Amino acid sequence: MAVRRVLKMGEPCLLEAAEPVTEFDTPALHTLIEDMRDTMHAQHGAGLAAPQIGTGLQVVIFSVANNPRYPDAEPVPETVLINPVLTVLAQEQEDGWEGCLSIPGMRGLVPRYTHLRYRGYDQYGRQLDRVAAGFHARVVQHEVDHLLGVLYPMRIRDLRYFGYTEVLFPHLQATMSDD
């Protein structure tokens, strides 16, 4: 178990497509996920993708419960999602504020689909098939974007809605030491 360094925007490997996982329930995969969990929790992230710690595999984790970075977000179950496939269930999109551990100290307003289905596998190779809406759907889209080499600023429609967290959300600073 280890807290790993999170790569920041500007690193070329954050812009690369990740490779699918071909072997499940291996020591290497379990270690990767433990490191991702430790790193995400240490930084109070809502999610983390393997490329953010320099591993180019299609592995993401996410979890939202009483997160000081997202105090108004509805809870999202702790999830390991490998080789994800998203299906958009409604064409409707909604703007919402996002941050990213690879872009510390900033937030941007990003349009995301409001309803989707996601399928994939957990670290043991068990199939996962869920329907998500709202913030849950947003987190999934943000994390899966990392596997495509897409960072949230690339999705912002109007860059006037991109800025420093301390300026946009001064009340958040009292509860956050990082980002």
Q: Mind telling me the catalytic residues?
A: 143
Smallest gap from Cβ 81 to Ni ion, in A, equals: 14
Select the span of 65-73, 83-91, 98-106, 127-135 touching Ni ion (CB under 5 A): 98-106
Question: How many chain residues interact with Ni ion (CB under 5 A)?
Answer: 1
Phi-psi region of 134 (alpha: psi -120 to 50; beta: other; left: phi over 0): left
Asked whether position 100 contacts Ni ion by CB under 5 A, the answer is yes
Determine the straight-line distance between the first and last CA of the chain, rounded to whole angstroms. 22
Nearer to Ni ion, 90 or 154 (CB): 154
Smallest gap from Cβ 125 to Ni ion, in A, equals: 25
Asked whether position 29 contacts Ni ion by CB under 5 A, the answer is no
Q: How far apart are CA 38 and CA 91, in angstroms?
A: 35
Residue nearest to Ni ion as judged by C-beta position: 100
Which residues lie below 8 Å from residue 111, measured CB to CB, with a gap of 6+? Answer: 93, 94, 95, 155, 157
Nearer to Ni ion, 53 or 100 (CB): 100
Q: How far apart are CA 173 and CA 166, in angstroms?
A: 6
Q: In angstroms, how far is CA 127 from the centroid of its own chain?
A: 20
Smallest gap from Cβ 101 to Ni ion, in A, equals: 6
Interface residues with Ni ion (CB under 5 A) are: 100
